[in-house]
Amino acid sequence: MLMNQAEVYQYLTEHGIDYEVTNHPAVFDMAAVADFPMPHPEANAKNLFVRDDKHRHYYLVTVKGEKRVDLKALSAQEGTRRLSFASEQDLQKYLDLTPGSVTPLGVLNDEQRKVEVMIDQELAAGLVAAHPNVNTATVWLKTSDLVQLLADHGNQVKLVHIPIRNDD
């Protein structure tokens, strides 16, 4: 079942997940998030939808909003084939999402359980921000609740140290 915004809220409620919602104009990148007062800026997160070079494995990587991810180092650390950004078509196919609305909650649309989720350990202890499958709202929930929710859905989820890209 593919979930819209209202269905995401209903799913969270049905699974006993405490969450808070902030509605805002559409945001397409982390720079736009800075334009709006957010109640938990320390939990702002960005999400990267990536794939391996053979298009066999897909990953949703969730990190703190300002973090620049080193995909080459992440690939080496996690023992995957070379990682790069997945296409808009893959995003639509696997998560039923559009660019700008990428979110770990989109994994609930992954009926094949093909997408593996990697959440940065920096977000492990507190809250994490996630879109409810649209980019006009942000849901704030405990990272531990998100991990459990996605694991219960049947997707592989792990907390990992996400390496930082240095462009020196």
**66-91: per-residue pLDDT in tens?**
889 999 999 999 999 999 999 999 99
Give the H/E segment covering residue 21: strand 19-23
Residue 94 is assigned to a structural domain of this protein: yes
Residue 168 is assigned to a structural domain of this protein: no
Residue type for 102, please? V
CATH number reported for the structural domain that contains residue 30 in this entry: 3.90.960.10
Residue 35 is assigned to a structural domain of this protein: yes
What is the residue range of 55's domain? 5-160
Helix (H, G, I), strand (E, B) or coil at 8: helix
Residue 167 is assigned to a structural domain of this protein: no
Distance CA 107, CA 121 (A): 19
Cβ within 8 Å of residue 95, ≥6 positions away: 49, 60, 102, 106, 107, 109, 110, 115
Q: For position 101, what pLDDT does the model report? A: 87
Q: For tokens 């969730």, what's the residue?
A: 62
Per residue in 116-153, pLDDT (tens digit) is: 999 999 999 999 999 999 888 999 999 999 999 999 99
Closest residue by Cα to residue 130 from 5, 16, 1:
5
Residue 165 is assigned to a structural domain of this protein: no
Strand duo 19-23 + 137-142: pairing: antiparallel
Closest residue by Cα to residue 139 from 149, 147, 130, 128:
130
pTM: 0.91
Q: What mean pLDDT comes out for the span 48-62?
A: 96
How many domains, in total, are found in the chain?
A: 1
Q: For position 34, what pLDDT does the model report? A: 63
Residue 62 is assigned to a structural domain of this protein: yes
Q: What mean pLDDT comes out for the span 33-57?
A: 84
| DSSP single-letter state for residue 106 | G
Distance CA 97, CA 133 (A): 7
Residue 166 is assigned to a structural domain of this protein: no
